[in-house]
Amino acid sequence: MSLRRSALAVLGLGLLASQAGHLLAYQVMLGATAQRVQSTGAHSYFPLVAKTAVGAAVAALIAGLLVVGLARVLSGRRIQSSSEPSYVSLLAFLFCIQLAAFAAQEVGEALVAGMPVPSAAVLLLWGALGQLPVAAAAALALRWLSMRVEVAVGAIIDVVRSGVVIAPAIAPATVAVSGVPYRALLLSSLAGSALGKRGPPTSSLLIAH
C-alpha cells in the first residue's frame, strides 16, 4: 500500500473510531444517563453521527474480510503479506487523531451550548480513557487488513486473468487440389461412364451361340 493510501486509511479510520471512543468516554463518565445527555441539546447530533461512523467502520472491516476470504478460496492459499506496518506506529497515529477529534467535538459542543470550555487536562483524561481502547482495537484490525487486502486484490486479479482462456484462431480448411488439369479430369470421368455402359463385344456373343 502506498504512503498516501496508508495515510488516508489511518485518517479515515481515526475519525470513525473517534465516535466510538466518544461514546465510551461518556458511558464511563455519566453511566446510565450517558445516552440521554448525548441525545439532547448540543449533543443531539451525536447518536446519528455515532451510528453512521460505527456502521461505516464495521462495513469496511467486513468488506476487507470478504476480500481476503474470497482471494484465499480462489487462489487456494493463505493470504499473507511479506511486510506489515508497525502496530505501535498505527496505535500512536490513531490515538492522536481520535483524541484531537474528541477535543474538537467537546470544545465545539461547549461553544454551541454557551457553556465553559473544558480544560485541557479534562479533555486529555476523558479523551484518553475513551479513545485509547478503541484505538488499540482499530490499530490491530488495520494492521491485519492493510497489507492482506492489497495482496488479496492482486491474487483475485491474477486468478481472473488466468481463468480467461482465449480460443486460438481456427485455420481455414484447405482443400487438396489435384495437379491434373480440369480438362483431363473431365475426360477421364466421361470415359469411365462410357465404359460402364458398353456391353460385351459381338464376337463373344457369336462364340457363345
| pLDDT tens-place string over residues 31-63 | 878 777 777 777 788 878 888 888 888 888 888
Sorting pLDDT into bands at 50, 70 and 90, what band is 7?
Answer: confident
Report pLDDT for 93.
94
Among 7-11, 16-20, 117-121, 173-177, the minimum mean pLDDT is found in 173-177
pLDDT at 34: 78
Distance of CA 139 to the CA centre of its chain: 20
Closest CA relative to residue 85, chosen from 148, 29, 27, 132: 148
The upper half-sphere exposure of residue 108, i.e. CA atoms within 13 Å in the direction of its Cβ, equals: 10
State the pLDDT at residue 79. 66
pLDDT > 90: percent of the chain: 20
Of 65-79, 144-158, 172-186, the range with the lowest mean pLDDT is: 172-186
User: Are 85 and 146 within 8 A, CB to CB?
Assistant: yes
Q: What is the pLDDT, as a whole number, of residue 199?
A: 55
pLDDT at 97: 95
pLDDT category of residue 188 using cuts at 50, 70 and 90: low
Residues 6+ apart with CB under 8 A from 150: 1, 81
Q: Which residue has the higher pLDDT, 185 or 132?
A: 132
Contact between 84 and 12 under an 8 Å Cβ cutoff? The reply is no
Helix axes 46-75, 3-30, angle to 10 degrees: 130
For residue 175, pLDDT over 90 is answered with no
Looking at the chain, the whole-number percentage of residues with pLDDT higher than 70 is 73
Given a cut of 70, is residue 95 above it in pLDDT?
A: yes
Section 61-72 average pLDDT? 81
Could you tell me the pTM of the whole model? 0.65
Asked if residue 46 lies in contact with residue 38, where contact means CB atoms within 8 angstroms, the answer is yes
Quick check: 165 pLDDT over 50?
no
Q: What per-residue confidence (pLDDT) applies to 113?
A: 83
